Structures are given as C-alpha cells and as structure tokens.
Structure 1
Amino acid sequence: MSGRFSEQAMTEAMREVAAGLGVPSEDAQVLRLTNNAVFALPGSGIVIRIARTHRLRDRVAKVVRLAHWFADIDAPTIRLAPDVEQPVEVGTLAASVWEYLPAGFPTPTVEDLGHVLREFHSLGLPPFPLPTWDPVADARKRLADADGLGGGDRDFLMQWCDRLEPRLVALNRHEDQRLIHGDAHVSNLLKEPSGRTVMCDFDATCVGPWRVDLAAVAVGEHRFGRTGAHEALAAAYGHDVTSDPGWPLLREARELKMIVAAVPLLAASEQVAAEFDRRLRSVREDDHRPRWTPFADLTTPAKKR
C-alpha cells in the first residue's frame, strides 16, 4: 500500500537524512515500521529514527532534549549520535539519529526490564518540563492524522476517549508522579558492549503514575497470549500491577494506545489495517478471546536497502 507514511516514503526520507549527514545508506536495514520508521546504518554506526505522523513530530524535540539529560546523568538509556545537530528536519517530517547497538547475546529479558525500570523510576525529574501522562490526548492526535480510517471507527474511538478522559485525570491527580518511560516492554531494551541493559524509544516518556510502566507487559501477556512475562516482571521489579485498584483503568488506557498506534498507518499496510480491525472489533464486542498480533510483526523485517 502507498501513503504519506509508507515504507517507500520513509526509505526516501532516511536516504535524505543520511545524505545530509554525509554518510552512505546502501547498507541501511529496516529495524521497525510502526509509529516510527527506524533504520540501522551499521557501516556508519548510527540509527535513523523518523516519526511517521506529523501530529506527533513535537515529540522528536522532546526526545532529543531528554537524551541529552540522560547522557549527563548516565541514565540506563541509548545515546544520541555525537556531533549531529538534532532534531533533523526532513521535508515535513522530523528525525533523530542515535548510536547503533547491534543485536547481541544474551538478548534482553523481562527480568532486565524490571531492573532497568526500577533504576529509571529513581532518576527523578529533569530540569525542564515534561508532559503529563495523557494517553487520551495522544490518541486524539493520532486520530487527527489518520489515513484510511472510517467514520464509524473514528466516532467509536473518539467516544472511547471522551469516556476514559475524566477517569484518567482523576487517577493522575491521586497517584505518585514520577518519570515514566510510557512504553516499557522488552523490545525497547538494548545491550551495550559492556553488557549493560539500556532503554530506547522515549516518545511516550512523561510524568505520571509509575505503575503505567508495569501495565504494558501485563496487557501484552493477556492480549497477545503470552505466559510468564508479567509474573517475571513483577518479581524483578517487586510489584504486581494487576493487584492495584487502578489496574482495570491502566489496562483500558494501554489497550487504547495499542489500537490507535496504528491509525496513521492504515493506508500504508493492509496487514496493519486488518490487525487494527481485529483489535477494534474485540474491544467493541468486549471479546477477550481473540489473540492480537504485534504491529511490529506485520511490517517488513530487517533487510538491506
């Protein structure tokens, strides 16, 4: 499928960024084509990450600022590529450029996630403002930038946002506010050559209830049909989020995020569009039996360009 955020369009944008940096792109590999198009250029030791929606391009500037602070305090996080002025503008899109960490062994585990999250949550807050956790506002931005979204689906999602918003406002008001990653799962972990586990993907990083970061694995286990991951995370972190009174609300907020994440990409992938329909139907019908497929598994695997 074609569209503003198709693989072809993102590949062309990547090549433009690489050319601006003065590095070759012949060895580029597609790492991810979800909310961001992520390309590794191993020969140059960098990763180029391009936001696939105009409405959330302001996040790129936030992520770059966070990355500089993380480096200053030696946080367990991936580092920006040195000597690159960021964010990088590429047409109407925005990109960031990172150090390349090749996949290695041992691969990060959910236990690693638990330990890294405990350290991340203890960092305190940066010396600049961050947005408050607001998955409804994020969802509305994605709905405003949708290609191929039917009117009925849009209305259902907007009504869901309207129902959820006041409950999340109340939760935010009464919960301990900390720095949270916002999309904490094993796929957002990498290993440094030293063996240190670090986090990546700070688009959703904000200030909010720290339990949000434990909900992603628990909801993923339920919706994707995985077993054991949530129990292992709870043991490593030292807290079981499903025992909290606010768990049903955290679960619903996570499921909204897991559905609307695909909205700007519906015109770019038939497989993503079909999975979006499957997820939305299961929520509309309150049917927890269908197993969802991660959007990342439906996009093009890593390959040379």
Structure 2
Amino acid sequence: MATNLSPRRAAELRAVVEAACAQMSLSAHGAELIKYTVNAVFRLRSAPVIVRVGAGEVGEARGSRVVSVARWLAAEGAPVAPVMEGAQPIYVDEGHTVTFWHELATRRTWKAHELAGPLRALHELEPDAALPIWDPFDNARRRLAAADPVVSPDDVDWLRDAWAAAENGYRAWESKMPIGVVHGDPHTGNLLKDVSGRIVLCDLDETGIGPLAWDLVPQAVGAVRFDRADFYRQFVDAYGADVRNEPYWPALARIRELVMVTSVLPDIGQRPLVAAEHAHRLATLRAGHHTATWNLYR
C-alpha cells in the first residue's frame, strides 16, 4: 500500500528504523514503508521481518503491551502473527517505540469468512488475568492530548466532549455485554497467512479482555461508512451474529467512529493525504451525517 507523508517525517522514521534494527542486529538498508495509519510499518529487504514504529506516549504505552499479548496468544495457539524473539520493544530517541515481527504472506482481498474464522477462534479463548483490559477511552485521551498543532482547538474540544459522552453511554451497558478475549481492531487489513496456510490476525495493539461484541462492530460500521454492505452480510453469516441487533449497538458504533477519527491526530500535519480524509470524516461526524461514506487512510 502506498502511503504519503512529509519528507521531514519520512527522514525521522527512517532514522528510527535504522537505530532499532542496529539493536536487533538487522540491516535497515532498503527498508520500505508499506503502511502508516496509527503505526508506521516497514518491510525489511535484508530479512523477512516487519518493523512497526509507534510514536509518542501512545506508542510507548502500546509497545510493551502488544509484545506481551502476542506472546501469550502464541502460547495459547491463537491465530495471530508471530512477534520476533528477543528483548522488545525497543525505544529510540525517547519518542518512538519499535517492535519486530516475522513477515507473513498477505493478499489484496479477503473473504468475509476468512476474517470471521480467526475472530471466532480468538473469542473462544479463556480470558486470562495477565491480559490487559480493552480501553479505547484511555487511548483517546492520550491521542487528544498529543494532537498535532494543525488540529484546531475547537475540533479537539468537540472530540473530547464526544468521547466523554461515548464513555458514559458505554458504561451504561458495560455489565450487560459478554466479555472475553477481543482483537480490538479486526478488519481485513489485519489478516495474514502463516507458513502453514492458516489465516491469522495481526496488529494486536488493542487486544485484551473486553466485550466480544466490539470485534463485530468494525464490519457493521464499515457496511455504511465504507460502502461494504455485501461484505457485512457475508460476515454475519460466517460469524453467526449481527451486532446491530443488540441494544448496545449504538453505543459501540459511536465509539468505533470516534476511534477512526481520533487515531491519527498525533503528527497528522506530516501526512497530507491522511489529513484530508480526516477532515472529511470529522466534518461529517460533527454534522451528524451518519450515512456519509468515508475513504481509507493512505
């Protein structure tokens, strides 16, 4: 996937990857940026390795969490991407948190049942006290506090108020929802195929113990926001449940939409194409246009 960012940010990220690779005895020569939404994701040319770079306080908080979660899930035989061995995460310049993953095969398109299957397997795991609690609200507060200066104070204030209302709405239903191990951000962009041919989930930053219904929400919201109604019908058939039938669906849908607007706030000024799509999403959200379609961040 092509991505777009300022030359200054591109140089910063490349220097971070070089420094982190040196600590893992890997060469960063020719490393390719393949994705950048919340994390900057690089593919190494020197080895079948993926390097994920998180920035600021949010990246630091998620770095150690994602490594420990990935290792716990791997020990349980869960269908997840394998994190590399060794001491991780690696901290560079007190502003970037880097993790290393074994590279697996990917595809441009996936079918609904290929997403539903790994999710169902994850949801059948017995929750463990060692796993973190799913908490989008703390993540949102961190991102709002770290919002790029190009984001207007009025927009930040609006988002802060919207998140407060969303959290109140969620707390009213929290005790009524089945709880288990959730991925936290399941969509087809987070699917890979391992060497055995098994389809696995990657991007485990939000994985933990939370409401199982949350993992069904991204596809339900995407049915409208990304014009994927057909895919969602197939997903419902494959998974066996439609979250839109639940009384707490509106509360969870609101959180998902806010996540998709808030997640890119730090350093958005260095990514012009992301900034343009973010402006569109936020404008439609503020205007209450619940059926307006969005585009993927690039």
Does TM, normalized by the shorter one, top 0.5?
Answer: yes
- Cα distance in 1, alignment partners of residues 75 and 120 from structure 2: 19
- Cα distance in 1, alignment partners of residues 205 and 35 from structure 2: 14
- The aligned residue for residue 286 of structure 1 is 288
| TM score, norm. by length of structure 2 | 0.92
Letter in 2 for 1:141: R
- Cα distance in 1, alignment partners of residues 263 and 222 from structure 2: 14
TM superposition shift of 1:12: 1.6
- Cα distance in 2, alignment partners of residues 85 and 58 from structure 1: 16
- Cα distance in 2, alignment partners of residues 122 and 152 from structure 1: 43
- The aligned residue for residue 37 of structure 2 is 34
- Cα distance in 2, alignment partners of residues 79 and 42 from structure 1: 18
Within-5 A mapping of 1:106-255: 108-131=110-133, 133-147=134-148, 148-255=150-257
Paired residue secondary structure (1:239):
coil
- The aligned residue for residue 59 of structure 1 is 62
Letter in 2 for 1:145: A
Letter in 2 for 1:25: A
**Structure 2, gaps ≥5 residues long:** none
TM superposition shift of 1:220: 1.4
1:99 aligns with 2:105: no
The structure, 1 or 2, with the larger RCO (C-alpha pairs under 8 Å, 6+ apart) is 1
Letter in 1 for 2:170: L
Query: 1:108–1:120: structure 2 CA closer, same or farther, 3 Å change rule?
Result: same
Paired residue secondary structure (1:228):
helix
Q: Indicate the RMSD between aligned Cα atoms, in angstroms.
A: 1.8
- The aligned residue for residue 50 of structure 1 is 53
- The aligned residue for residue 261 of structure 1 is 263
Query: 1:291–1:177: structure 2 CA closer, same or farther, 3 Å change rule?
Result: same
- CA contact 2:63–2:98 (8 Å) conserved in 1: yes
- Cα distance in 2, alignment partners of residues 3 and 158 from structure 1: 31
Structure 1 runs of 4+ with >6 Å offset? none
**Structure 1, gaps ≥5 residues long:** 299-305
| TM score, norm. by length of structure 1 | 0.90
TM superposition shift of 1:226: 2.3
| Count of paired positions | 292
TM superposition shift of 1:104: 5.3
Paired residue secondary structure (1:77):
coil
TM superposition shift of 1:127: 4.5
TM superposition shift of 1:26: 2.0
